[in-house]
Amino acid sequence: MADKLKFAVIGGGSWATAIAKMLCVNQEEICWYMRNENAIDHIKNFKHNPNYLSSVEFDTQKLLLTSNINEAVSYADYLIFAIPSAFLDGELAKITLPLQDKIIFSAIKGIVPETSLIVGEHFHVQYDIPYYNIGVITGPCHAEEVALERLSYLTIACSDADKAKFVAQNLSGNYIKSKISDDIIGTEYAAMLKNIYAIAAGIAHGLGYGDNFQSVIMSNAIREMKKFIRKVHKMKRNINDSAYLGDLLVTGYSVFSRNRMFGNMIGKGYTVKSAMMEMSMVAEGYYAVKSAYKLNQGYGAKTPIIDAVYQILYEGKEAKVVFKKLTDQLD
């Protein structure tokens, strides 16, 4: 029966496009929801997404494309959400069908602003979906390298190991290696936090700090991440695993990292608004830092990097001054 279970991808961006590409290797048909009807028409006619990863060519016979999110919900057993966290609540508001019998996997790396919850917790609290029907898809894996079919790694987390294995099998391929984890909360928080640290790395680069400081900020970031996640969800985990450290490193160093790019622009003197207008994609870390900072007011973890990024992005403090103070707090 498991081989008859159906997938739907929710989202039209680069990560949604990459996930659709991976699923098409293993599925005879998938449903793909995106709100942009022009993009849907383009894919039907030209076999690629005009706005994201346009080099990826799809077999359109395998795609049930729709701009009606309820059609996707009705079609699938497994719903994979891959839209920016800032827009998730608005998309969910369009759903009129029950979600309780669906299996939800989040490929979203951020916190839902309306509830200040990570996506898995949002589905559990707001939609009464049990945790054994909720999972997380994390890296280290950039959509752009999936498009290029470069070797990439995924971690699929779910408290139900069978569901994690099933998703892992359907995303795996010649250039995609997947492993499973039961740390659904920790991996999702790590995926959110690494975007904040990538912004910090970008700010440092924009300010003119070199590779030496980059290595220091990354080594401090993984320790800071460990302290934060331990406060949120204490369990046995190896923070040096690729789902945590690996994802942090690729997001902090890669030229494909939109969060690093956003931070670099801030470091060079762009305002938040002008940096956002310049970029064609959403930097999840911008929204995440506000939620993480406020959440940590209750937890009390020592997070100088998160605090510094928050001060720059939300309190309007000068990046050069904030980072000068930050350098004295790192080791």
Domains and CATH numbers, the chain: 7-182 (3.40.50.720), 186-328 (1.10.1040.10)
Q: Which of 194, 226, 268, 273 is catalytic?
A: 194
pLDDT at 1: 39
Kind of pairing between the strands at 111-112 and 103-106: unpaired
Kindly report which listed range (75-79, 127-131, 195-199, 251-255) carries the lowest average pLDDT score.
251-255
Average pLDDT value for residue range 271-299: 89
87 is in an annotated binding site: yes
Q: Which element (helix H / strand E) includes 25?
A: helix 14-26
Rounded mean pLDDT, 51-78 = 97
- Give the pTM: 0.92
What was the pLDDT predicted at 279? 85
pLDDT at 35 over 70: yes
Q: Report whether pLDDT(200) > 70.
A: yes
Contact between 91 and 33 under an 8 Å Cβ cutoff? The reply is no
194 has catalytic annotation: yes
Mean pLDDT of the region 98-123: 93
Mean pLDDT, residues 291-315 taken together: 96
Find the mean pLDDT for residues 191-217: 96
- Residue 221 marked as a ligand binder: no
pLDDT 10s digits, 147-164: 999 999 999 999 999 999
Say whether 308 counts as a known binding-site residue: no
Q: What is the mean pLDDT of the chain?
A: 94
% residues pLDDT > 70 (the chain): 99
What's the average model confidence in pLDDT over 132-148? 94
143 known ligand binder: yes
On the question of pLDDT at 323 being above 60, the answer is: yes
CB proximity list for 126: less than 8 A, separation 6 or greater: 92, 115
3 confidence band (pLDDT: 50, 70, 90): low
- Give the amino acid at 197: Y
Q: CB under 8 Å to 163, separation ≥6 — which residues?
A: 103, 132, 133, 135
With a pLDDT cut of 90, the percent of the chain lying above it is: 89
Residue 21 is labelled as binding a ligand: no
Task: Give the Cβ contact number of residue 290 at 10 Å.
Answer: 17
* Dihedral of the alpha carbons of 151, 64, 86, 134, in degrees to the nearest 10: -70
φ, ψ of residue 135 to 5 degrees: the values are -140, 175
